[in-house]
């Protein structure tokens, strides 16, 4: 049997499918069967080389509901089998559900998902037996050289013979549902009328089941059999309008949803106004009695201003950085360690206690824990979601992005603010933004460029790690002004395309 030798670093360069903030991402047309197979094979080879495959030699695989996912799952499963391992096909379940299953079984897991990005893109998220791969694992995967049979693929990189898939095992779905029905008090959501915005989220079934099991009246809304790119950091105008209309029409206490793979939450108040992800994450951490928080530099600074937590550790954007920061806190002997991202995805690094019950660690992004924690805190509707939000410091954030904005152009433009000479960089920033936001107070280069002005307004600019987009985050003391800030910034940044 003839085999071909493939360098993963070269394959990433040639295909454009590379690691972003969480997993490998790229255009569907670029994620050929050969690319998906090769990356999976390299991941497993890395785990074998580092002694991370246990004696039962199983790997669990799942995916989201975008149109390209079944084909990529088949390629992933074929790679697992050809590597001499057994596939557990968990079907279509949320990313945190497959990760939890892997942690419980002590096995690697693979999730085929592009998260919130459009349907013309997809991705593969790899988890070690102890949780998400970290940046050092990504580098190790890039460094792999693999040998695979030449006959498997045609010249276009697709299988010459379509592989068979194992039958679906529901254990990952069932365990995920049980995690929350066991932890929260029975009927704790009784009296609440909750709208579930289903769209194309792979979490829609598990969310509906858990909400109903805990006593909520669930009104299912907005089902779609076509993929909808719901981004919790850049909520579409149509989703803002839908939520307000649904809240008014159905008399809802809250509307809840997730992004495509169920690891980023959307939670609205009783008026159908969506909470920002970092506000939802902060409230979740507080309601779960967390002590130490790891969160990216883009998250609302209300987390420090609140005084609710013993300490806050700031990181680069991306769950691998949050996971690493949580591990450092654990290594220092901290307890009650959690993390959340500006998109609302929540992670718990050690067991959390609530009402005499423990919630086992899940150090990967999860949406459902945020939704349930906030709804549980309303005490069967005695409090409104807006009341809970009012308990936090009045600090507001907004975010959006310029689509189809090449990463190299973003980096080139931002380089003008990153010379390392504060006076020079401040002048460059003030030439563009100074007329509207005043003088620069400080510049944070942890991830992109985060600028604090002397009036305490904040602008944070960075290229997306998942798509050719330029992200803009703004923060201020006024909700109306922070949204206007974001609009102003995007208009100014739009000029970067042509100047």
Mean pLDDT of 313-335: 95
Residues 263, 367 contacting (CB under 8 angstroms):
yes
Mean pLDDT of 7-35: 93
Helix (H) or strand (E) holding 138: helix 135-142
| Length of the chain in terms of residues written | 499
At how many degrees (to 10) do helices 171-183 and 368-377 cross?
Answer: 20
Task: Give exposure, 23-37, as e/b (b: 16+ Cβ within 10 Å).
Answer: bbbbbbebbbbbbbb
pLDDT given at position 150: 86
> Is it the case that residue 498 has pLDDT exceeding 90?
no
Compute the distance between CA of residue 6 and CA of residue 8 in angstroms, rounded to an integer: 6
Q: How confident is the model at residue 380 (pLDDT cuts 50, 70, 90)?
A: confident
- Weakest mean pLDDT among 30-39, 69-78, 147-156: 147-156
Q: How confident is the model at residue 20 (pLDDT cuts 50, 70, 90)?
A: confident
Percent of the chain at pLDDT > 70 equals 99
Which tokens hold the place of 103? 């942690």
Residues annotated as catalytic are 115
> Is it the case that residue 1 has pLDDT exceeding 60?
no
pLDDT given at position 2: 65
pLDDT given at position 464: 82
pLDDT tens for each residue of 268-304: 999 999 999 999 999 999 999 999 999 999 999 999 9
pLDDT given at position 73: 98
Q: Which of 218, 268, 251 is nearest to 374 (CA)?
A: 268
pLDDT given at position 445: 96
Mean pLDDT of 59-67: 98
Tell me the CA end-to-end span of the chain in Å, nearest whole number: 55
pLDDT tens for each residue of 386-411: 999 999 999 999 988 899 999 999 99
Question: Alpha helix (H) ranges present in 69-129?
Answer: 69-82, 95-105
Mean pLDDT of 349-354: 94
pLDDT given at position 60: 98
Q: How confident is the model at residue 318 (pLDDT cuts 50, 70, 90)?
A: confident
pLDDT given at position 243: 97
Q: Which of 108, 117, 75, 69 is nearest to 91 (CA)?
A: 69
pLDDT tens for each residue of 247-269: 999 999 999 999 999 999 999 99
**Confidence (pTM):** 0.91
pLDDT given at position 31: 98
pLDDT tens for each residue of 107-161: 999 999 999 989 999 999 999 999 999 999 999 999 999 999 889 999 999 999 9
pLDDT given at position 154: 94
Task: Tell me the average pLDDT of the chain.
Answer: 95
Greater model confidence, 467 or 212: 212
pLDDT tens for each residue of 183-194: 999 999 999 999
pLDDT given at position 499: 63
Mean pLDDT of 195-200: 98
> Is it the case that residue 217 has pLDDT exceeding 70?
yes
Mean pLDDT of 193-214: 98
pLDDT given at position 4: 81
Q: Which of 31, 222, 42, 197 is nearest to 114 (CA)?
A: 31
C-alpha distances in Å from residue 109, one per residue of 36, 59, 271, 301: 15, 6, 39, 34
Spacing of C-alpha 372 from chain mean position: 18
Compute the distance between CA of residue 19 and CA of residue 135 in angstroms, rounded to an integer: 9
């Amino acid at each position: 049997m003839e085999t071909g030798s493939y360098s993963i670093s070269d394959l990433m360069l040639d295909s454009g499918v590379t690691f972003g903030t969480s997993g490998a991402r790229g255009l569907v047309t670029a994620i050929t069967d050969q690319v998906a197979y090769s990356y999976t094979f390299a991941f497993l080879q890395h785990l074998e080389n580092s002694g991370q495959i246990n004696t039962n030699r199983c790997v669990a695989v799942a995916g989201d509901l975008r149109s390209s996912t079944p084909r990529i799952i088949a390629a992933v499963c074929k790679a697992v089998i050809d590597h001499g391992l057994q596939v557990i096909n968990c079907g279509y379940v949320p990313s945190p559900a497959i990760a939890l299953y892997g942690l419980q079984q002590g096995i690697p897991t693979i999730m085929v998902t592009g998260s919130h990005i459009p349907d013309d893109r997809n991705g593969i998220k790899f988890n070690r037996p102890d949780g998400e791969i970290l940046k050092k694992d990504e580098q190790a995967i890039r460094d792999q050289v693999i040998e695979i049979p030449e006959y498997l693929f045609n010249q276009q990189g697709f299988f010459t013979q379509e592989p068979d898939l194992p039958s679906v095992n529901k254990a990952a779905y069932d365990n995920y549902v049980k995690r929350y029905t066991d932890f929260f008090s029975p009927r704790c959501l009784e009296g609440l009328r909750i709208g579930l915005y289903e769209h194309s989220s792979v979490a829609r079934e598990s969310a509906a089941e858990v909400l109903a099991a805990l006593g909520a009246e669930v009104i299912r809304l907005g089902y779609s059999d076509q993929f909808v790119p719901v981004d919790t950091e850049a909520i579409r105008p149509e989703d803002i309008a839908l939520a307000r209309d649904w809240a008014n029409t159905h008399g809802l206490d809250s509307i809840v949803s997730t992004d495509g793979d169920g690891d980023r939450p959307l939670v609205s108040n009783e008026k159908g106004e969506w909470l920002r992800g970092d506000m939802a994450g902060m409230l979740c951490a507080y309601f779960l009695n967390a002590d130490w928080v790891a969160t990216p530099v883009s998250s609302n600074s209300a987390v420090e201003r609140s005084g609710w937590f013993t300490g806050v550790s700031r990181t680069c954007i991306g769950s691998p950085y949050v996971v690493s920061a949580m591990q450092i806190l654990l290594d220092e002997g901290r307890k009650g360690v959690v993390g959340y991202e500006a998109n609302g995805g929540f992670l718990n690094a050690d067991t959390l206690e609530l009402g005499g019950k423990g919630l086992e660690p899940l150090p990967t992004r999860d949406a459902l824990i945020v939704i349930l924690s906030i709804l549980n805190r309303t005490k069967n509707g005695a409090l409104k979601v807006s009341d809970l939000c009012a308990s936090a410091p009045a600090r507001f954030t907004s975010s959006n992005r310029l689509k189809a904005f090449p990463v190299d152009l973003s980096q080139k433009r931002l380089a003008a603010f990153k010379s390392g000479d504060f006076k020079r960089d401040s002048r460059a920033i003030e030439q563009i933004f100074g007329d509207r936001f005043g003088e620069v107070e400080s510049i944070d280069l942890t991830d992109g460029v985060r600028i604090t002005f002397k009036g305490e307004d904040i602008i944070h600019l960075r290229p997306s790690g998942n798509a050719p987009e330029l992200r803009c985050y703004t923060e201020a003391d006024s909700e109306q002004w922070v949204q206007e800030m974001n609009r102003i910034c995007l208009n100014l940044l739009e000029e970067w395309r042509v100047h």
